Amino acid sequence: MVSSAFTQSFAQNNSSPWISLFNGQDLSGWVAKFTGHRLGENYLNTFRVENGTLVVAYDNWSEFNGEFGHLFYEQSFSHYLLRVEYRFVGEQVANGPGWAYRNNGLMLHSQSPASMTLNQEFPASIEVQLLGGNGSDDRSTANVCSPGTHYEREGNLITQHCVNSSSNTFHGDQWVTLEVEVSGNNLIRHSVNGELVFEYAKPQLDENDPDAQNLIGQGQTIAISEGYISLQAESHPTEFRKIELLPLTP
């Protein structure tokens, strides 16, 4: 793996050790939340560990009916580097949305899983959208989507739901290395295979979004400076063989 320049810089100037969020054996430290299902129910055993890899699997599903899933790590974070190695495999489950083909995501600065309503589809968060190619068309990865949130880019408030990065397209079942630098409510940067592809700042709740309004009503500040990390299950099988985090000093 080729480490990005900002990863090398922070690693050299930070005394904290890397933390493996995934132990390679089981889902210890993680909890699932699926739309329409109670917290902790790993619906149809979708999230599991196989051969040392955390997988999002759909072999137990007959079809998809809007049961969007998220697997949350138990601890919240504010300043950190996150490194993930992932790939898309197999076929999308029947009735999965067209946009969800080879689509997954890392939800950052997310609301807690316990604060999600039973039928909520996505946590209010900043999503690092992971996309795989279809074999021919350009399709960037490490994009930004913003369920229940906004952010700023070059001083402008971005209200568009998804914005593409400048990454290459990754067709087939190849492994991709993603690194994300998160600095509280300040700068966030995405790197793919060592190349910086997106940067933005000031993540914040969208005051017009019902899920965000619910959080604001509970006392959440508009500016988001910390939160939970989760992996998505949006109808396409995905594998994660590394999920590690380096805490950073604010």
DSSP 108-130: EEEPPGGGS-TT--S-SSEEEEE
What average pLDDT does range 137-156 have in this prediction?
98
pTM here is 0.94
Q: How many domains does the chain have?
A: 1
Query: What's the whole-number mean pLDDT along residues 120-135?
Result: 98
Please report, for the domain that includes residue 23, its CATH number. Answer: 2.60.120
The rounded distance, in Å, linking the Cα atoms of 88 and 129 is 13
Is there a domain that residue 170 lies in? no
pLDDT band at 2 (very low <50, low <70, confident <90, very high): very low
pLDDT-derived band at 16 (thresholds 50, 70, 90) equals confident
Place of tokens 């909520």: 120
Assigned domain for 21 exists? yes
User: Does 227 have pLDDT greater than 90?
Assistant: yes
Task: Give the per-residue pLDDT at 46.
Answer: 98
170-224: per-residue pLDDT in tens?
A: 999 999 999 999 999 999 999 999 999 999 999 999 999 999 999 999 999 999 9
Rounded to whole angstroms, how far apart are CA atoms 128 and 249?
A: 22
Q: Residue 194 domain-assigned?
A: no
Least confident piece of the model among 1-10, 78-87, 186-195: 1-10
**What was the pLDDT predicted at 13?**
52
Domain of 56, in residue numbers: 5-156+201-247
Instruction: Note whether residue 141 is domain-resident.
Output: yes
Q: Is residue 173 part of a domain?
A: no
Q: Is residue 216 part of a domain?
A: yes
Would 110 be classed as within a structural domain?
yes
pLDDT band at 15 (very low <50, low <70, confident <90, very high): low
Neighbours of 55 (CB within 10 A): 19
pLDDT at 111: 98
User: Please, what is the average pLDDT of the chain?
Assistant: 95
Query: Does 210 fall in a domain?
Result: yes
Contact 129, 143 (CB under 8 A): yes
Average pLDDT of the residues in 97-102: 98
Q: Which of these, 11, 86, 18, lies nearest to 55 by C-alpha position?
A: 86
